């Protein structure tokens, strides 16, 4: 199983595809990444807890302190 990765974001919804991203500085894709035959692109909503974990690759997204307030829709 891939090691959980903590990623700070500035939005209340994040898209995760399981692949590495130069912006995130991730070196390799977790097992299962790669679209139709592995990790699909999923959009995760960060709720009141301020964090959400991807059910496919276990990346842990945390809303940063400087993130704007949620729009409410």
- pLDDT tens for 12-47 read 999 999 887 655 544 444 444 555 567 899 999 998
Average pLDDT of span 3-19: 87
Q: Phi and psi dihedrals of 42, rounded to 5?
A: -125, 150
pTM over 0.75: no
Mean pLDDT of the chain: 77
Q: What whole-number distance in Å separates Cα of residue 31 and Cα of residue 55?
A: 13
At 34 the pLDDT is 58
Q: What whole-number distance in Å separates Cα of residue 51 and Cα of residue 34?
A: 24
């Amino acid at each position: 199983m891939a090691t959980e990765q903590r990623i700070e974001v500035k939005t209340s919804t994040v898209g995760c595809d399981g692949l590495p991203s130069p912006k995130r500085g991730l070196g390799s894709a977790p097992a299962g990444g790669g679209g139709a035959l592995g990790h699909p692109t999923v959009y995760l909503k960060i709720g009141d807890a301020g964090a959400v974990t991807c059910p496919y690759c276990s990346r842990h997204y945390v809303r940063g302190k400087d993130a704007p307030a949620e729009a409410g829709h």
